[in-house]
């Protein structure tokens, strides 16, 4: 069946550090891929997406590239800020199906 | 647009009481989803509707849970009777193209004593 594996948290970084959160998936066919972010006390919101192989999604300094050969969609940011502290969810969307959310990775950025 | 609106934001009730959570999706969105979030289980899809019709309710934990969508602008999730293990944050989300980009509400935090 369809599934997603995310890097376990929590992740704690200092401001301006480089961030990588790994995400790999198994899905039928070629799904669209999403990263959602949940700030404290809020619902999830879309961070970025990619709909086909080799696409790069980007937003707010975050990037993720759709890697078909490794079935991965790792999230990266070159220099994190305290305001990036949140929980990040990877979510593949197989065609004709519905979103499957990963377990979420808690990120804390210290000043 | 005000986004997806959920009420109440917080609910504290006693075991055995009925709980009703409400959701107003974004106008024009034709899909609506109810999720439950806990530390132990993470984010679980309970049920989703397309054009007000329930499509998949396989995530509803048991018969104590029921959801309705009487029209395109309103949905309810009811728990009767409630139990302490139902304590969680319940999110409603809507989308305009099946299960593509979801817009989430702020959630309803339920505590059952």
Chain B residues touching A101 at Cβ < 8 A? 42-43
Say if residue B100's pLDDT is above 80. no
Tens digits of residue pLDDT in A16-66: 999 999 999 987 777 899 999 999 999 999 999 999 899 999 999 999 999
- When CB atoms are compared, the residue of A41, A49, A101 closest to B43 is A101
Burial state string for A42-76 with b = 16 or more CB within 10 A and e = fewer than 16 = ebbebbbbbeeeeeebeeeebbbbbeeeebbbbbe
Closest-CA distance of chain B to residue A52, Å? 14
Give first-to-last CA distance, chain A, whole Å.
Answer: 41
Say if residue B1's pLDDT is above 70. no
CA distances from B46 to A93, A108, B39, B62 (A): 17, 29, 16, 10
Contact A43 B56 (CB under 8 A): no
Say if residue B23's pLDDT is above 80. yes
User: If you write DSSP's letter for every residue of B6-66 in order, what string do you get?
Assistant: EE-SEEEE-TT--EEEEEEPPTT--EEEEEEEETTTEEEEEEEEETTEEEE-TT--STTEE
Q: Report the pLDDT value the prediction gives residue B98, as an integer from 0 to 100.
A: 57
Nearest-CA residue of chain A relative to B47?
A: A98
Q: What is the mean pLDDT of chain B?
A: 93
Nearest-CA residue of chain A relative to B39?
A: A103
Predicted confidence band of residue A1 (pLDDT cuts 50, 70, 90): low
- Chain B residues with CB within 8 Å of chain A CB: 4, 42-43, 45, 48, 56, 91, 93, 98-107
C-alpha span between B91 and A74 (Å, rounded): 26
């Amino acid at each position: 069946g369809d599934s997603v594996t995310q890097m376990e948290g929590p992740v704690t970084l200092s401001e301006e550090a480089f961030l990588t959160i790994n995400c790999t998936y198994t899905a039928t066919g070629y799904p669209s891929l999403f990263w959602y972010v949940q700030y404290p006390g809020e619902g999830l919101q879309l961070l970025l997406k990619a709909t086909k192989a080799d696409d790069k999604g980007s937003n707010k300094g975050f990037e993720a590239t759709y890697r078909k050969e490794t079935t991965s969609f790792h999230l990266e940011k070159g220099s994190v800020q305290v305001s990036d502290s949140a929980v990040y969810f990877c979510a593949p969307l197989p065609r004709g199906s519905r979103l499957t959310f990963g377990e979420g990775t808690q990120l804390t950025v210290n000043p | 647009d005000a986004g997806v609106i959920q009420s109440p934001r917080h609910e504290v009730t006693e075991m055995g009481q009925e709980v009703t959570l409400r959701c107003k999706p974004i106008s024009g969105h034709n899909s609506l989803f109810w999720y439950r979030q806990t530390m132990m289980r993470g984010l679980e899809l309970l049920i989703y509707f397309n054009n007000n019709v329930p499509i998949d309710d396989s995530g509803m934990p048991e018969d104590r849970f029921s959801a309705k969508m009487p029209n395109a602008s309103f949905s309810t999730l009811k728990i009767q009777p409630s139990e302490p293990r139902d304590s969680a944050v319940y999110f409603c989300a809507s989308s305009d193209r099946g299960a593509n980009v979801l817009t989430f509400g702020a959630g309803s935090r339920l505590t059952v004593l």
